[in-house]
Amino acid sequence: MSGMMNDTGMGSGSCVFFGILIILAIIAVVVWMRRGTDTNHSSQSSSNHSLEILKERLAKGEISEEEYDRLKRKLEERDRK
């Protein structure tokens, strides 16, 4: 009888192990898919941040309006690519 219990115990242990592997695989796929969608958001926020810095520099008088317009156009061109 004890031999049967050991066999059953091993079977259920491997079942739990494979169940955990499946759950980890599902989590990995979800994280991987989310990471792909976040790259667009980060480039937009980076662009917005750069534009905010330009506005601050213009407000402080560090750059002229012409320089602001030129740099803003460069940022917009970079975002289109």
How far apart, in whole angstroms, are the C-alpha atoms of residue 23 and residue 19? 6
* Angle, in degrees to the nearest 10, between helices 2-60 and 65-80: 150
Q: What is the DSSP letter of 1?
A: -
* Mean pLDDT across 41-55: 78
| pLDDT surpasses 60 at 45 | yes
Mean pLDDT for the chain? Answer: 79
* Mean pLDDT across 11-33: 86
Q: How confident is the model at residue 10 (pLDDT cuts 50, 70, 90)?
A: low
* pLDDT at position 1: 46
| pLDDT surpasses 90 at 80 | no
Q: What angle do CA 42, 75, 67 make, to 5 degrees?
A: 140
